[in-house]
Amino acid sequence: MPKNGTDWFRGIAAAMVILSHYAQWWTWFTPVEGNSAIFQLALTKLGIYGVDIFFLLSGYAMVISLGQNQMNKNFIWKRVKNTYIPYFIVVGVIELVSEGFVSLQDFLNFASGYDFWYMFVLFLFYIGFIVDYAIFRKNKGLRVAVFCIFTYIFSRILYDKGMNDFWYVSNIAFALGVIVGEYENGLKRVINKLWIPLTAILAAGMIPVIRWGLDGGVNFGQNPEDYQLSFQIGATVIWTLLVLILASKLPIKEKIFAFLGKYSLYLYLTHTFIFMQCVNKLECSYAGRFAASALITVAVSFVCGKAISAVCAFPFRKLTGLCIEKSG
């Protein structure tokens, strides 16, 4: 999958997550009911499936980036440079501007990404992947199996701690992304032959998912709690596989979402602060506030992305130049 294609899907995912938050915040100011309430609920559900896309692409990108090479410090540095440093700088500035760190525990929660649940889970998946692939680098089947076991254990711990809502079920999508990256050629052949019936089956499978998500319209003769987690897992798998097929077969040339995808991490990290602490204080309509917040978030994310990329690249380039000079 070309870089523009992954950026496009990340841009779609970022828009889904941000729109879901805006839809949720809208009800804080303007209560809705009837069809408007159903529409608002549908928008809030978009974020769940946006996270599935992010995790699918993240797991896939880890495998593709590693390729046939052994785990080394350059691979680890790339993860730190592209994910942790942007998080540390952007969220660090947000924390200092707002309340700051009033205790050591506050700083530790920030440093681990604990208060940004998506970042916390992503960091742990990165660590698990690095350890797994460093140990079992010569056995593809074993390292995939070990990573799937790691995903299950980690998710089970979250579940036992009460973190069993729909968001954490997205962990499955990361493991699916790893599997896709490892068995890409074989899966591609299957998709090329069967993508039309597979797409139809998966799309049909989303119908009860949508009904259940909006009005609880699916009834298996049990209490909702008895099958809720199983249904959530099934929904995530169906949606992730559907996205996988579309990503494989659709030629992506659209540039706006590809642009958003390039800066999707910054969009995720900044949009809440920009709306809640900045734009929401403006004296204008709620629709105007959301529109202004979206535009400002894109602009700030672009500036942050360019600035942090330059900061991360400078010492690496300098060090590379020194090595070349010495070797010459």
Beta strands in the chain (DSSP E): none
CA angle 131, 57, 46 (to 5 degrees): 125
Residue 298 has pLDDT above 90, yes or no: yes
For residue 229, the model assigns a pLDDT of 73
The rounded mean pLDDT for the chain is 84
d(CA 40, CA 244): 27
Count of CA atoms in the C-beta half-sphere (13 A) of 242: 18
For residue 317, the model assigns a pLDDT of 47
For residue 328, the model assigns a pLDDT of 40
150-154: Cβ within 8 A, 24+ apart: 151/125, 151/175, 154/124, 154/125, 154/128
Residue 160 has pLDDT above 50, yes or no: yes
pLDDT range class, residue 326, cuts 50, 70, 90: very low
Residue 228 has pLDDT above 80, yes or no: no
d(CA 88, CA 108): 12
For residue 246, the model assigns a pLDDT of 87
Residue 168 has pLDDT above 90, yes or no: no
pTM equals: 0.87
For residue 227, the model assigns a pLDDT of 57
In which residue are the tokens 């097929």 written? 245
pLDDT tens digits along 175-217 = 999 999 999 999 999 999 999 999 999 999 888 877 776 665 4
The three state secondary structure string of 266-322 is HHHHHHHHHHHHHHHHCCCCHHHHHHHHHHHHHHHHHHHHHHHHHHHHHHHHHHHHH
138-141: Cβ within 8 A, 24+ apart: 140/182
* Across 23-37, 132-146, 239-253, 258-272, least confident range: 23-37
Higher pLDDT, 300 or 116: 300
pLDDT range class, residue 151, cuts 50, 70, 90: very high
pLDDT range class, residue 292, cuts 50, 70, 90: very high
Mean pLDDT calculated for residue range 13-23: 93
d(CA 159, CA 174): 17
